[in-house]
Amino acid sequence: MQLLAPEKTKPTTDSSKPEISGLKLSKTQVQQKLLIATNNAGKIREYLELLPGIPFALTTPRSENLEGEVDETGATFAENALLKALYFSSVSGLLTLADDSGLEVDALDGRPGIYSARYGGPNLGDEDRVDLLLSEMREVPWEQRTGRFHCVIAIAGPTGDQETIEESCEGYITYEARGPNGFGYDPIFYSLELGKTFAEVESSLKHKLSHRGKAARRATERLFAINRASETP
């Protein structure tokens, strides 16, 4: 699946909007594009792998020449995912999928949580955030190093209709970064099922168990259902 080349997009004026589970989308929007509301290279790469065969052409804010960032002022993953989905759907006129995800560590009272992507401040990179988290857990024994990745996918139409999908996966936080794959906190998230960190396995294995993989499979079902509804006379 390929991303579309940059182009200007105008909101649709089609008033015929089939409805499915509260989500109303125009036939034109459903048949053309699905905007993935992120410019995060790691997320884009994963969604290209996680949404195979969907009846949409994937595009991104950068591909659509959309500028600006959404202030993630929500108190939960779901609130932040909806903020992003609704904003980008509104400015693009496109069916939009956004996610908000992060790592919740029990020994840190759930941190970094919704602040995972900006933990420690905006000037830190992925490796810096991993190092910061490991330093905070230096004295925590293995049996107490439990945590989970959490993901909420929000799907929104340009009329403001919306729905969310929520998934998580459990694991442990390692004592050091392990593995060259993935992104974010993958090198320190150990899966008991895999016997490795998410960064030590191929993406296809990770997706079978990951928070985003689970949520994307459910989102795929919804996207096919939305498309079928758009084709109903």
Sequence-ordered list of residues with C-beta below 8 angstroms from that of 43, at least 6 positions apart, any chain: 36, 99, 212
> What would the two tokens of residue 136 be?
């905070």
128 is known as an active-site residue? no
Q: Can you name the residues that pair with 57 across neighbouring β-strands?
A: 33
Beta strands in 60-175 (DSSP E): 95-105, 146-156, 162-173
Q: How many Å apart are CA 98 and CA 80, to the nearest integer?
A: 9
Q: Can you name the residues that pair with 96 across neighbouring β-strands?
A: 35, 156
Q: How many Å apart are CA 38 and CA 171, to the nearest integer?
A: 26
Burial of residue 203, with CB atoms counted within 10 A of its CB: 0-12 exposed, 13-18 middle, 19 or more buried: middle
Which residue in 99, 100, 161, 186 is the catalytic one? Answer: 100
φ and ψ at residue 186, rounded to 5 degrees: -55, -40
Q: Which residues are catalytic?
A: 100
